[in-house]
Amino acid sequence: MASRKKTTSELSIHVLYVELVGIQPVIWRELLVRSDMPLSKLHDVLQEAFGWNHSHMHVFEDTSRRRYGDMAGEADDRGFGGDASLRDEREYSVSDIAPRARSLFGYIYDFGDDWVHRRRVKKVQPAEPGKRYPACVAGARAAPPDDCGGVPGYERLLKALEDPEHGEHEEMRQWLGGPYDPEAFDLKSTDKAVRTIS
């Protein structure tokens, strides 16, 4: 029997505050996602919200340290650290691992650079009629470029970019392939990117 599509009045929305751990000032996003969104889609939302390029493995972790990841893609070794208990992220939703306001859970992207995202459910609310989800409604600062070497590499990158006399200044500029402003955050374009995830 086919499942009935939920009406707007039956949908609930998780308001998520997401920040990158280990960087000051904080790089963060506030996202609105359907509570029944599979974690596999939430991964896509996070990639767009932070400007990552989907090129590395990832894992979600709940407060009981259960891990959820990609069982259909690169994670043939059962994911992070060869964890045989890794759960299939396609089979669990946001509300499964963070059911209520103030619930916490983690998201790690790129097991070499280890970009750790701390996530907190600000609130769970009814969907607004006529509003499309997911959405990015606030944030601050540009995310570090993919493959820059985690927090230490990102700090080294910023130092090199700030000082034209730095030995790696020109090399880093060429590696970036264009301008990079760590303070920049374009809410309109980030929201547009997030909304491409259905």
**Domain definitions of the chain by residue range:** 10-142+183-195, 144-182
Q: Which residue has the tokens 């790690």?
A: 108
Please tell me the pTM assigned to this model: 0.86
The answer to whether residue 1 scores a pLDDT higher than 50 is: no
Stretch among 7-11, 43-47, 70-74, 179-183 having the lowest mean pLDDT:
7-11
For 3, the token pair is: 């499942």
Torsion sign, CA atoms 153, 155, 158, 162: negative
Contact 77, 100 (CB under 8 A): no
| Domain with residues 10-142+183-195, CATH architecture | Roll (3.10)
